[in-house]
Amino acid sequence: VENDAVTVIPELLPVLRGIVGESAVLSVDDVTAGYLRDWTGRFGAPSGVVVRPRSVDEVAQVLHSCAAAGVAVIPQGGNTGLVGASVPLAGEVVLSLRRLSDVSVDAVAGQVLAGAGATIGAVQSAARQAGWAYGVDLASRDSCTVGGTIATNAGGLRVLRYGDTRRQVMGVEAVLSDGTVLSHLSPLTRDNTGYSVPALLAGSEGTLAVITRARMRLVAPPVPSAVAVLGFGAVDDAARSAGLVRRTDGLSAVELFLPAGVELVRSVVDLPALPPAAAYLLIERDGDADGLASAVADLPGVVDAAVADDAAGRASLWSYRERHTESIATLGPVVKLDVTLPLDRAADYLDAVDAVVTGVAPGGKVWLFGHLADGNVHTNVTGVPEPDVHAVEDAVLRLVADLGGSIASEHGIGVAKREWLPLNRSAAEIDTFRRLKSALDPAGILSPATLLP
Amino acid sequence: VENDAVTVIPELLPVLRGIVGESAVLSVDDVTAGYLRDWTGRFGAPSGVVVRPRSVDEVAQVLHSCAAAGVAVIPQGGNTGLVGASVPLAGEVVLSLRRLSDVSVDAVAGQVLAGAGATIGAVQSAARQAGWAYGVDLASRDSCTVGGTIATNAGGLRVLRYGDTRRQVMGVEAVLSDGTVLSHLSPLTRDNTGYSVPALLAGSEGTLAVITRARMRLVAPPVPSAVAVLGFGAVDDAARSAGLVRRTDGLSAVELFLPAGVELVRSVVDLPALPPAAAYLLIERDGDADGLASAVADLPGVVDAAVADDAAGRASLWSYRERHTESIATLGPVVKLDVTLPLDRAADYLDAVDAVVTGVAPGGKVWLFGHLADGNVHTNVTGVPEPDVHAVEDAVLRLVADLGGSIASEHGIGVAKREWLPLNRSAAEIDTFRRLKSALDPAGILSPATLLP
């Protein structure tokens, strides 16, 4: 079965094959499902053409041909997205950037130049070998790519310390939908010669241009650190402490989890019980255990503290937080809503979200954890029958917006949340986004179902 | 004498007075020169109308009226610019944002919300009082403003540690030239709901929108630090060391200066001689003198090192670097060219620039200093007669571009350098900038002579 778009314009297929070669155009019969469904399993269509160019010139030719034919294109990296932005919905051409996977480190300047298809794990590894580190780290590191993490402005575990992906990117090579190649891979940390296309493309979710290469700054390698898990008697003390502790220098993580999550993790992973508490914060900071203990000594409402500065102890404490995702996945389908709250409303959210969910899906069970110093709360809901999913999303996202939060913390808007974008953005802002979209993609072929309602 | 624009459309003046009030529209007879000439003294015209709104609504009405009348507008903050981007050239309306000067700190979240007209000094002071710090610092701190530093993506003394202004800005309120108000002053550090207008406006030099307010992240207050001044036997060892030392954690400054500059500073300021060297680096790092001494112990070519970790000693060492600008100013008019070199070409630049300057202006004397770990070299030239200024600029900027550098490190392109923008940017990039400009300012009234050639 050919997909719709190719049925409509059968002449495009040989053109694409002419550009990238026979074997680099996969049609529905031979593509693997990995290109057509993202990590949620919810988004994507079992139809489509996947094109796998090997160079920026091939990317430019593919885009030019698709624009001429009026066929929509979905740029795709590691396809680890959770909001449906990287998969076809109705026969779009999937433009896989994975073959553009070169990575080279400039050890003197402390920078990395990488193809859009290089994984973050490959970037981290190359940086480490050169005596540096890459400032972004996230659980999907061995699958997600440079291009995808820029397009979604990925956050992850080290935002508190190094900022989001936009703050790492120094320059990009990118292709507009008409085939124009923009290349400014400047190695210069101070370079103000015109508008920042990299900063605009960061977070644009593939709707403005196709990133083919990027230069990112590296950071000094990690120094020895200590990790504490603090138990709090009340959720709002944990939320307040997540704010207060941000003033401390040398922090690299402040992560929230809750007793129910600990119990679930312990049912999957062999870990000792933690002393009872209403909420836990994991805090990581440069230096030794004594330094960390004194830095957190005045936080309000701490009822218990475990601190470690040896590798095994740190890893063990991190397990309570890091093993949440896989433990939750054992419960069946998960509605994943990734949101940010203002720090002074985070406790209100943590208190209210259970009732909001069970109000529309009585069997729903909410699992909360996240990068709380940044206000991030990964809201996972299990036990929701498919017909109730939309109502759960709607209820949670409205609660977030009512509390002044963001409906898209670090996973993007994509297809999944675009109907709710007006909860966070005014009509004037959305109109401005459309003006920018039209300026760079006048044909409207790049990821047309993503982001803009 | 009324200026041209007002002569052309005399009906605009009463409209502007109706919006902001009689006393907030200054015409040529009563304006102070401070609005019409920037810090260079080279740019600006002694004609023009200055409008001083007190609110975003007044800004929107002023822009709407000017757009309707087809009159160009120059947004202005502290008017400390060095590239002619903040002053009228031919009767444009100067839109001074200085009255929008509110500053408020959220001490829990570690953020500041400030009007475009607040000075960086006021922001720093408010942050300090709340137990935080603002990551951007520069010599013009008590005059330059929030809006101006965002519009130029100001760098300054702490880029190495905290990044440029774009990296501090979390959200902006801004007005498009048609009067549309865009406001997203989100306090959320993770918020990916659409294109990043703040990141795009940072560095746009007033050509895309008028910033009226901004929210910036704050950083942990400084911890005790040590300062070293290292003398190097060869310029290229200093340049190499500026790269190598970047790998050290806790750095806050790596600044270059040269023996001729030290001699000049010592002729103006009472400071002890430094041991002879071909080049000096000032390095500041968290921790004590011993820690810094061991961090720099392996740098190549060090012939002398002075280290201090007490306040007086640190300040004394900083004087050699910080007093350059005022010392150079005693020599008469200065051609200021602010450029960035790739670190591995910085020594080539330092070696070649004298001959390039004297080749076109035989009496020219070059003074070099800057934020060398970022490749920045402030290139000041004295002794250049006015007719030779353009030839000096052309020769230096071409040398920079030939070495792979940026012609605009942190002062912007403005009016001064726009003819040389094609040295750094391709026709496709400049065309893309024009597309973005047309999308946000279709009437083309915002700073029409700035940035784009």
Q: At CA A318, angle to CA A286 and CA A372, rounded to 5?
A: 75
Task: Round to whole Å and give the CA distance between A198 and B420.
Answer: 22
Smallest CA–CA distance from A376 into chain B, residue: B190
Q: How confident is the model at residue A30 (pLDDT cuts 50, 70, 90)?
A: low
Extended strands (E) in A21-102: 25-26, 49-51, 73-76, 93-96
Q: Which two tokens stand for residue A189?
A: 């940390």
Q: Does A346 touch chain B (CB under 8 A)?
A: no
Residue B7 has pLDDT above 80, yes or no: no
Task: Please write the tens of the pLDDT for every residue from A80-91.
Answer: 998 999 998 887
Of residues A108, A186, A438, nearest to B243 (C-beta) = A108
Residues 6+ apart with CB under 8 A from A333: A382, A384, A386
Residue-averaged pLDDT of chain A: 93
Rg (CA), chain B: 22
* pLDDT average, residue stretch B212-219: 97
Q: Does A167 touch chain B (CB under 8 A)?
A: yes
C-alpha of B417 from chain center: 14
Dump the DSSP string for B120-155.
HHHHHHHHHHTT-B-S---TTTTT-BHHHHHHTT--
Residue A94 has pLDDT above 80, yes or no: yes
Contact between B382 and B331 (Cβ < 8 Å):
yes
* pLDDT average, residue stretch B116-122: 98
Q: Chain B: nearest CA to A162, how far in angstroms?
A: 9
Q: Does A166 touch chain B (CB under 8 A)?
A: yes
Residue B46 has pLDDT above 70, yes or no: no
Q: Chain B: nearest CA to A428, how far in angstroms?
A: 6
Contact between A253 and A365 (Cβ < 8 Å):
no
Residue B374 to residue A189, Cβ atoms within 8 A: yes
C-alpha of A381 from chain center: 18
With a CB-CB cutoff of 8 Å, which residues 199-258 of chain A face chain B?
Answer: 199-200, 202-204, 208, 220-221, 223, 240, 243-244, 246-249
Characterise A190 by phi-psi region: left (phi > 0), alpha (psi -120 to 50), beta (else): beta
**Between the CA atoms of B56, B62, B63 and B64, what dihedral angle is there, to the nearest 10 degrees?**
110
Q: Which two tokens stand for residue A130?
A: 């050169």
Q: Does B29 touch chain A (CB under 8 A)?
A: no
Contact between A81 and A152 (Cβ < 8 Å):
yes
Residue B165 has pLDDT above 70, yes or no: yes
* pLDDT average, residue stretch A401-420: 96
- What three-state secondary structure class fits A391? helix
Per-residue pLDDT at B89: 87
Task: Round to whole Å and give the CA distance between B50 and B27.
Answer: 6
Percent residues over pLDDT 70 in chain B:
96
* pLDDT average, residue stretch A203-214: 98
Task: Round to whole Å and give the CA distance between B199 and B150.
Answer: 9
Per-residue pLDDT at A246: 85
Read off the DSSP letter of residue B221: P
Contacts of B194 in chain A (CB under 8 A): 203, 413, 421, 424-425, 429-430, 433, 451
- The residues with which A112 forms a beta bridge, in sequence order, are A105, A216
Residue B8 has pLDDT above 60, yes or no: no
* pLDDT average, residue stretch A412-427: 97
Task: Round to whole Å and give the CA distance between A36 and A86.
Answer: 8
Per-residue pLDDT at B248: 85
Contacts of B237 in chain A (CB under 8 A): none
Task: Round to whole Å and give the CA distance between B194 and B182.
Answer: 13
Amino acid B204 reads S
β-pair type (A210-217, A279-286): unpaired
Q: How confident is the model at residue B44 (pLDDT cuts 50, 70, 90)?
A: confident
Per-residue pLDDT at A28: 64
More confident residue, B373 or A108: B373
Q: Chain A: nearest CA to B137, how far in angstroms?
A: 15
Q: Which one of B105, B190, B341, B409 would you mutate to disrupt binding with A, by most A Cβ within 10 Å of its Cβ?
A: B190
Backbone φ and ψ of B93, nearest 5°: -75, 125
Here the ipTM equals 0.93
Amino acid B387 reads P
Read off the DSSP letter of residue B234: S
Best CA proximity match to A248, nearest among A279, A293, A217, A280:
A293
Residue B194 to residue A430, Cβ atoms within 8 A: yes
Contacts made by residues A440-443, CB under 8 angstroms, sequence distance 24+: A440/A176, A440/A177, A440/A208, A440/A209, A440/B432, A440/B435, A440/B436, A441/A176, A441/A177, A441/A207, A441/A208, A441/A209, A442/A177, A442/A178, A443/A67, A443/A70, A443/A177, A443/A178
Q: How confident is the model at residue A31 (pLDDT cuts 50, 70, 90)?
A: low
Per-residue pLDDT at B131: 92
Per-residue pLDDT at B28: 64
Per-residue pLDDT at B3: 40
Residue B164 to residue A410, Cβ atoms within 8 A: no
Residue B293 has pLDDT above 90, yes or no: yes
Contact between A332 and A365 (Cβ < 8 Å):
no
Best CA proximity match to A66, nearest among A43, A36, A35, A88:
A88
C-alpha of A347 from chain center: 24
Max CA distance (Å), chain A = 69
Q: Chain B: nearest CA to A243, how far in angstroms?
A: 5
Q: Does B53 touch chain A (CB under 8 A)?
A: no
Of residues B131, B223, B247, nearest to A132 (C-beta) = B247
**Between the CA atoms of B386, B387, B390 and B396, what dihedral angle is there, to the nearest 10 degrees?**
-80
Place of tokens 């792979």: B404
pTM exceeds 0.90, yes or no: yes
* pLDDT average, residue stretch B236-243: 94
Range with the poorest average pLDDT among A18-32, A411-425, B357-371: A18-32
Percent residues over pLDDT 90 in chain A:
83
Smallest CA–CA distance from A172 into chain B, residue: B429
Q: Chain A: nearest CA to B246, how far in angstroms?
A: 8
Q: How confident is the model at residue B1 (pLDDT cuts 50, 70, 90)?
A: very low
Contact between B244 and B258 (Cβ < 8 Å):
no
Residues 6+ apart with CB under 8 A from B63: B73, B95, B175, B176, B177, B178, B179, B210, B445
Task: Round to whole Å and give the CA distance between B251 and B269.
Answer: 27
Residue B180 to residue A371, Cβ atoms within 8 A: no
Helix (H) or strand (E) holding B436: helix B427-440
Best CA proximity match to B281, nearest among B157, B409, B373, B354:
B373
Q: Chain B: nearest CA to A190, how far in angstroms?
A: 5
Smallest CA–CA distance from A109 into chain B, residue: B243
* pLDDT average, residue stretch A179-195: 95
Q: How confident is the model at residue B366 (pLDDT cuts 50, 70, 90)?
A: very high
C-alpha of B90 from chain center: 24
Read off the DSSP letter of residue B106: E
Per-residue pLDDT at B32: 62
Burial class (CB in 10 A: 0-12, 13-18, 19+), B33: exposed
Task: Please write the tens of the pLDDT for every residue from A213-253.
Answer: 999 999 988 889 999 999 999 999 999 999 889 888 889 99
* pLDDT average, residue stretch A285-308: 96
Per-residue pLDDT at A6: 45
Residue B428 to residue A182, Cβ atoms within 8 A: yes
Residue B429 to residue A184, Cβ atoms within 8 A: yes
Task: Round to whole Å and give the CA distance between A381 and B233.
Answer: 64
Contact between A384 and A364 (Cβ < 8 Å):
yes
For residue B355, how many other CB atoms are within 10 A of its CB?
A: 11
Range with the poorest average pLDDT among A55-59, A203-207, A299-303, A340-344: A340-344
β-pair type (B93-96, B49-51): parallel
- What three-state secondary structure class fits A316? helix
Task: Round to whole Å and give the CA distance between B375 and B436.
Answer: 29
* pLDDT average, residue stretch A53-76: 96
Task: Round to whole Å and give the CA distance between A95 and A67.
Answer: 13
Starting at the edge strand found earlier in the chain, the sheet holding B334-340 runs: B334-340, B376-382, B365-369
Per-residue pLDDT at A2: 37
Task: Please write the tens of the pLDDT for every residue from B329-350.
Answer: 999 999 999 999 998 899 999 9
Per-residue pLDDT at B30: 61
Contacts of A176 in chain B (CB under 8 A): 432
Starting at the edge strand found earlier in the chain, the sheet holding A73-76 runs: A25-26, A49-51, A93-96, A73-76
Q: How confident is the model at residue A212 (pLDDT cuts 50, 70, 90)?
A: very high
Per-residue pLDDT at A200: 98
Percent residues over pLDDT 70 in chain A:
96
- The residues with which A210 forms a beta bridge, in sequence order, are A175
Task: Round to whole Å and give the CA distance between B439 and B453.
Answer: 18
Place of tokens 């709707």: A207
Q: How confident is the model at residue B49 (pLDDT cuts 50, 70, 90)?
A: confident
Dump the DSSP string for B150-189.
HHTT---TTHHHH--GGGTEEEEEEE-TTS-EEEE----S
- The residues with which A133 forms a beta bridge, in sequence order, are A219
Starting at the edge strand found earlier in the chain, the sheet holding A210-217 runs: A103-106, A111-115, A210-217, A169-175, A181-184
Amino acid B170 reads M
Contact between A144 and A410 (Cβ < 8 Å):
no
What distances in angstroms separate CA B9 from CA B18, B30, B60, B89, one per listed residue? 16, 20, 20, 17
Could you give the residue ranges of the DSSP H alpha helices within B332-426?
346-360, 386-402, 421-424
Task: Please write the tens of the pLDDT for every residue from B168-211.
Answer: 999 999 999 999 999 999 899 899 999 999 999 999 999 999 99
Contacts of A105 in chain B (CB under 8 A): none
Contact between B34 and B80 (Cβ < 8 Å):
no
